[in-house]
Amino acid sequence: MKKLISLLVVCLLLTGCVEKKYIEKLGVITVIGYDVLEEGLVQGTMVFFQFDPSAQNVSQIITSIAKTSKGIRQDGNLKSSKELVSGQLRLVVFGKKAAESGTARLLDTLNRDASISDLLYLTVAEENAKDILQSNKMEDAADIGNYLKSLIEKNIRKEVLPSSTLHRFMHDYHDVGLDPILPMVGLADGKPVIYHLALFQGDRFVKKVPVKQGFYLKLLESRFRAGHLETTLPEEPFKPYLQSDRNHKNVEGIQIAMDEISSKTKIKLVDPKALKFKVDVNIKTRILEISEDIQIQNPKVLKLMEEELSKNIENKMEELVEVIKEAQVDPVGFGKKYNGASRKKKLTKEEWREKIKDIEVEFNVNAKILRHGIIQ
């Protein structure tokens, strides 16, 4: 009995120590955007919810200027009657210049804050984060934060975009021989859209590539389970098998769309001194649409299409590797493979950064078409 009374007393004391916060007095930050200004100042644009029944707008936007992310929130509290809290932060948008100057100092605070989930999404703006968050074109979403989160989340789920959580970014940032990738958000007629991926050297944004190249990045650094791809094959090898002319004179090559793509990739370091890697890629897919009337039911034609598709993917991945080498970034993890396979002293990030421009990669792609003829 004495133990029970003691336990109750302790619980009451602990309860008394917890600061009460009434939800109608809070401004719950869901999205924050960072833009760098002169003299080391950072401009933060915060989107927050207010649960006040008397408020006309549920969602509000405040812009503050400070030298740290904590300072931005403190300055924001001087501009709102609500107490701004970040426990429901779901998305961070870095302006282009902020990403180029380095994200580590801002992410460090987020990563250390126990109230913030490391599953929040990160993205880079094509120009200013403030312009993205002040857009009022967001379809049927409650606010710009929900729209952006849904836009990114949906495309990650559909395997169009790589994972862009805080957890994944910090893992890739700290891993030697691996660099982060983030989606880039721009404006088209005032509406936020995703056209590019941002490649990083450590915590700094250095190069953007079209989202379509993200397919080949994912093919290299992980695997597809239900991906899709639209590409162009040369027409010449298929001319003997064309059944009719569809008058696509203004379109070069044969356009094909595929879905239900599954893949498995193996990267092997074959010559440490020459920095030579071999990449074997096995792909299984279904043809969803094809622009020309081809005898695809013919086993010879199907085999030819698999061969041409394999060559096409090999060429695209070779082009991507050249981009990686020129920018001296490693979103694939070749450096991680090198350190894992080499018996010599492990390379540092700086040492691998210098070596990556000299890597050689040999590709061997084996594409298998399992089904076809859905739309022809």
| Interval 318-333: pLDDT, tens | 999 999 999 999 999 9
User: Percentage of the chain with pLDDT > 70?
Assistant: 88
Is residue 9 a part of any domain in this protein? no
In this structure, the number of other CB atoms found within 10 A of the CB of residue 335 comes to 25
Is the pLDDT at 334 greater than 80? The verdict is yes
Tell me whether residue 281 is in a domain.
yes
DSSP secondary structure string for all residues of 218-284: HHHHS--SSEEEEEEE-SGGGGGGEEE----TTS-SEEEEEEEEEEEEEEEEEETTTTEEEEEEEEE
pLDDT of the residue at 5:
42
> Taking 80 as the threshold, does the pLDDT of residue 14 lie above it?
no
12, part of any domain: no
Last residue of a domain, one of 155, 187, 211: 211
Q: What is the CATH number of the domain that holds 265?
A: 3.30.300.210
Whether residue 335 is found in the same domain as residue 366? yes
376 band by pLDDT with thresholds 50, 70 and 90? very low
Residues 178, 228 share a domain:
no
pLDDT surpassing 90 at residue 142: no
Mean pLDDT, to the nearest integer, of 47-70? 79
Range of the domain at 347: 223-244+252-371
Whether residues 116 and 230 share a domain: the answer is: no
129, 272: one domain: no
Assigned domain for 216 exists = no
Q: What backbone phi and psi angles, to 5 degrees, belong to 278?
A: -120, 130
In a domain, 127, yes or no: yes
Q: Across the chain, what does the average pLDDT equal?
A: 86
Is 16 inside a domain boundary?
no
Which candidate, 250, 248, 284, places its Cα nearest to that of 265? 284
Would you say residue 24 has pLDDT above 70? no
Number of domains observed in the structure of the chain: 2
The verdict on 267 and 121 lying in the same domain is no
Do 239 and 196 belong together in one domain?
Answer: no
Count of C-beta atoms within a 10 Å radius of residue 187: 16
Dist. CA 363–CA 56, nearest whole Å: 59
pLDDT in tens, 230-248: 999 998 998 888 877 665 5
Supply the pLDDT for residue 98.
95
Residue 125 lies inside a defined structural domain of this protein: yes
pLDDT bin (cut points 50, 70, 90) of residue 87 is confident
User: Is residue 3 very low, low, confident or very high in pLDDT (cuts 50, 70, 90)?
Assistant: very low
Task: With cut-offs at 50, 70 and 90, classify the pLDDT of residue 18.
Answer: very low
Residues 316 and 338 in one domain: yes
Task: Estimate to the nearest angstrom the gap between the alpha carbon of 268 and the chain centroid.
Answer: 25
Q: Tell me what pLDDT residue 316 has.
A: 95
Does 1 map to a domain? no
Shared domain for 231 and 359, answered yes or no, is yes
Residue 245 has a pLDDT of 67
Q: How far apart are CA 352 and CA 334, in angstroms?
A: 9
Return the pLDDT at 312: 96
Binning pLDDT at 50, 70 and 90, where does residue 40 land?
A: confident
R_g over Cα of the chain = 25
108 and 58 within one domain: yes
Instruction: Clarify whether residues 67 and 145 are in a common domain.
Output: yes
**Claim to verify: residue 140 and residue 186 sit in the same structural domain:** yes
Is 112 in the same domain as 230? no
Return the amino acid letter for 321: V
Top pLDDT among 114 and 41 is at 41
